[in-house]
């Protein structure tokens, strides 16, 4: 029995960088396909595929690596993703709101496919639940979610297998009421989880008189954990001596709406460049 569609696992990638010939895993990303059209015979669907992560994961970098597992039992393979062009202009697009921590970069998956890598992508018209849909199905505090990612940059030497953790929606009404741009889940995340997808857990029962959803949908992306401050007090002076920042176990999540908005921004920029002949 599976609560997450198995191909969701293959939508998630580790994001790394190389410094002095040593690889460091910085965060998490996922592949998201914007639906374009169906083929004329109606048998195939066409998508434009983007790598989605946080701005803070890829800022000030020219190149990152993303990892895929082959369909065979061979070791995983890393692929470079260029974030700037030959003139040092940014290729990736961030959400225009500086408070929204979402970045996307278009990915050509043909090479990955030709080389026999195992991958998939979330499809924009099938696998997501935006704020409107969450409100329609009655998603609220206490509902279960899954958080996928690579906490603390834990990635095996020869394979890529994502960690899946449980959580619950801790606060979402602020988002519904437009008092906040993100929502909060009760789930432990760490550096490395940034950019990871958050999936709703399918339910088959609910409190009488309330709605429920039996779908596992992409509802958002990990932004950061919410810290709290702990202060060490001197026993001699009763004055604070050392301040510690600790992980509260609560995490901010960017709703999937912000991913869609960022992709729309990337499409506008792309169309504008094409229009002026660049």
Structure confidence by residue, pLDDT tens digits, 82-94: 999 888 889 999 9
Q: Decide if 1 is inside a domain.
A: no
> Which residues, other chains included, contact 228 with Cβ-Cβ below 8 Å and sequence gap of 6+?
245, 246, 248
The CA-to-CA distance between both ends of the chain, in Å, stands at 51
- For residue 245, the model assigns a pLDDT of 84
The closest of 213, 161, 165, 204 to 185, measured between CA atoms, is 165
Q: With 90 as the cut, is the pLDDT of residue 273 above it?
A: no
What's the confidence (pLDDT) of residue 251? 97
- CATH number of the domain enclosing 20: 2.40.10.120
This model's pTM is above 0.85: yes
Q: Is there a domain that residue 159 lies in?
A: yes
Residue 275 has pLDDT above 60, yes or no: no
Lowest mean pLDDT among 47-51, 170-174, 203-207, 272-276: 272-276
**Interval 194-205: pLDDT, tens:** 999 999 998 766
Provide mean pLDDT across the span 16-30: 92
**In the chain, pLDDT over 70 holds for what percent of residues?**
94
Q: Is residue 17 part of a domain?
A: yes
- Strands (DSSP E) contained in 126-217 are 144-149, 163-171, 183-186, 197-200
Please report the pLDDT score of residue 32 as a whole number: 97
pLDDT exceeds 90 at position 173: yes
Distance of alpha carbon 54 from alpha carbon 198, whole angstroms: 13
In a domain, 66, yes or no: yes
Residue 47, domain member (yes or no): yes
Give pLDDT tens digits for 37-82. Answer: 888 787 889 999 999 999 999 999 999 999 999 999 899 999 999 9
Count up the domains in the chain and report the number. Answer: 1
Residue 186 is predicted with a pLDDT of 98
- Predicted confidence (pLDDT) per residue in 258-267, tens digit: 999 999 999 9
Q: How far is CA 15 from CA 26, 159, 221, 255, in A?
A: 6, 13, 15, 21
Q: Looking at the domain assignment, is residue 239 inside a domain? A: yes
For residue 110, being part of any structural domain is answered with yes
Domain of residue 30, residue span: 6-275
Examine residue 268 and state whether it is found in any structural domain, yes or no. yes
Between CA 162 and CA 151 the distance in angstroms is: 9
């Amino acid at each position: 029995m599976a609560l997450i569609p198995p191909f969701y696992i293959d939508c998630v990638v580790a994001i790394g960088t190389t410094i002095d010939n040593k690889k460091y895993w910085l965060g998490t990303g996922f592949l998201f396909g914007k639906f374009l059209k169906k083929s004329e015979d109606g048998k195939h669907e066409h998508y434009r595929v983007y790598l989605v992560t946080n701005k803070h994961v890829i800022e000030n970098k020219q190149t990152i690596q993303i990892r895929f597992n082959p369909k065979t039992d061979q070791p995983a393979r890393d692929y470079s993703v260029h974030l700037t062009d030959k003139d040092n202009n940014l290729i990736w697009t961030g959400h225009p709101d500086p408070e929204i921590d979402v970045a996307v970069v278009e990915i050509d998956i043909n090479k990955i496919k030709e080389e026999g890598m195992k991958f998939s992508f979330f499809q924009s018209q099938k696998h997501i639940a935006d704020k409107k849909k969450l409100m329609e199905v009655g998603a609220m505090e206490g509902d279960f979610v899954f958080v996928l990612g690579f906490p603390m940059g834990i990635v095996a030497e020869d394979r890529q297998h994502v960690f899946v953790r449980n959580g619950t929606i801790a606060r979402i009404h602020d988002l519904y009421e437009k008092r906040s741009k993100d929502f909060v889940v009760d789930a432990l995340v760490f550096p490395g989880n940034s950019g990871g997808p958050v999936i709703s857990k399918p339910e088959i029962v609910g409190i009488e008189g309330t709605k429920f959803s039996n779908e596992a949908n992409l509802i958002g992306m990990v932004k950061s954990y919410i810290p709290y401050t702990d202060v060490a007090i001197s026993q001699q002076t009763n004055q604070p001596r050392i301040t510690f920042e600790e992980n509260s176990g609560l995490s901010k999540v960017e709703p999937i709406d912000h991913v869609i908005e960022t992709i729309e921004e990337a499409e506008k920029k792309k169309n504008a460049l094409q229009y002026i002949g660049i």
